[in-house]
Amino acid sequence: MGVCMTVVPPAPLTRRGIPLERDLRVLALGSFANRFGAGAVMTTSALYFTRQVGFSPAEVGLALAVAAVVGIVVQIPAGHLGDSHGPRRVLTILMVGAALTSALPVLARAPWQLALLLGLQALFERSAGAVQQGVIAQLATGGRGVLFKAYLRAVTNTAIGLGSVFGGAALVVDETWAYVAVFVLNAVFTGFAAWNSRRLPDLPAFERVEGEPRLAVLRDWPYAVVVAITGLFALHFFVMELGLALFVSERTAAPPVMVAVLLLLNTTCVALFQVRLSRRADSVEAGARALVRGAIWIAAGFAIVSLADRGEAAFAVVVLVIGSLVHVVGEMIGSGGQWGLQMGLAPHERQGQYQGFAGLGFSTVAVFAPPVVTLLCVDMGETGWLVLAGIMLAIAAVSVPVSRWALASRERYGVLTHSG
């Protein structure tokens, strides 16, 4: 006689777009405020430092690279600090630091000063981001971790879009005071996010067992391989943010305004559909399958976009829109897969350091992606886009067997997993 087992679905996450649980509402509000200010700065900072201060693009790029390296270095220690000293308290301290340093780059008058101030800002921002991932993993329980990350992505995309409107206003004014006001606005909203984090519950610190390595994630090779795969998967973000813009302007007959149109199209789709397309990625196995589906959609989108330089403006516009729509489907499905793997393979008591380590995949790709993407998307044109499509298909080919190996290794490494 067989035994019938009833699968209990996760509790509903939101009602009318608002998280049902108070703690998740607090996290969402803080994330919205933080990314609203960041969206305004992202829109204006490059032009401020080049046109108002007088730095060359290369000097600004070097300063940003320094900040990216700082972000790579601090993520794992920050996550571990949150695990061992209480993630909510550590998060609040780091967010206060981020608020105090977020407006300082406007004071830079030499390239080394810009690198120093951006690096200091990255120290607090990246550290806070790593700790927050651990907070999310502890609060979004009952199989809702991936769904809440999807919800947060929709929220932050909306916040960045609204923040960019304020940044755009500064661009229209095109005066130093307007640019400075954007940085101050970012500091104010980051300060609100820091205050808001105090409303989170005082989550317990996890004491290290005697003999246990301080940073256990550094010995978890299967998890490191999975992070490498999800990091390579994240290459597609740089392709669509940097490579597509350069490809449109340099190699197609499409009007330059299409760059803004495609970005708006992407942001809107993510805000509307990210949660829905992440619902089936709430475990390691489901996450791996989602990564495969996402990679295939993204590869197809790249292949379509590659044709945009073959015709006149109208043809290019149609191809770019279709390719971008196909890509964003894969982006949303694949993002859910990334979260399912990164959260599901991590022990509950070490989510801070594990999610900090998971962030290294994206941060490392951010260092080498710009020149690689420029070479493939612009210099090589159609061939380069097809090479990128092949990279995504290769990721799809190895995702499932690698995730099975990593999951089977959990007992060997003493990692107790959960489903997000």
- How is the chain split into domains, by residue range? 22-198, 217-410
How far is Cα 20 from Cα 320, in angstroms, rounded to an integer?
A: 38
In the chain, what percentage of residues exceed pLDDT 70?
Answer: 90
Domain 217-410 has CATH 1.20.1250.20: yes
The arithmetic mean of pLDDT across residues 73-82, rounded, is 84
- pLDDT at 5 (0 to 100): 41
Mean pLDDT of the chain: 85
> Does residue 241 register a pLDDT over 80?
no
> Does residue 38 register a pLDDT over 60?
yes
- pLDDT at 225 (0 to 100): 92
SS3 at position 280: coil
- pLDDT at 60 (0 to 100): 83
> Does residue 413 register a pLDDT over 60?
no
Check residue 254 and give left, alpha or beta (phi > 0: left; psi -120 to 50: alpha). Answer: beta
In this predicted model, which residue has the larger pLDDT, 192 or 363? 192
Contact assessment for residue 105 and residue 42, using Cβ atoms and an 8 Å cutoff? no
Per residue in 159-186, pLDDT (tens digit) is 888 888 888 888 888 889 999 999 999 9
Per residue in 370-394, pLDDT (tens digit) is 788 888 988 898 999 999 999 999 9
DSSP bridge pairs for 15: 18
Residue 7's pLDDT band (boundaries 50, 70, 90)? very low
> Does residue 415 register a pLDDT over 70?
no
How far is Cα 225 from Cα 399, in angstroms, rounded to an integer?
A: 10
CATH of 22-198, one of 3.40.190.10, 1.20.1250.20, 3.40.50.300, 1.10.10.10: 1.20.1250.20
How far is Cα 320 from Cα 298, in angstroms, rounded to an integer?
A: 13
Residues 6 or more apart whose Cβ sits within 8 Å of residue 333: 277, 278, 281, 290, 293, 294, 297
The pTM score is: 0.76
> Does residue 17 register a pLDDT over 80?
no
Per residue in 334-347, pLDDT (tens digit) is 998 998 898 888 77
Q: At what angle do helices 221-233 and 351-374 cross, to 10 degrees?
A: 40
SS3 at position 211: coil
- pLDDT at 209 (0 to 100): 58
Residue 282: how many CA atoms within 13 Å on its side-chain side? 19
Max mean pLDDT among 15-19, 20-24, 70-74, 310-314 falls in 310-314
Q: What one-letter code names the amino acid at 87? A: P
> Does residue 33 register a pLDDT over 90?
yes
The answer to whether 22-198 and 217-410 have equal CATH topology is yes
SS3 for 322-389, per residue? HHHHHHHHHHHHHHHHHHHHHHHCCCHHHHHHHHHHHHHHHHHHHHHHHHHHHHHHHHCCHHHHHHHH
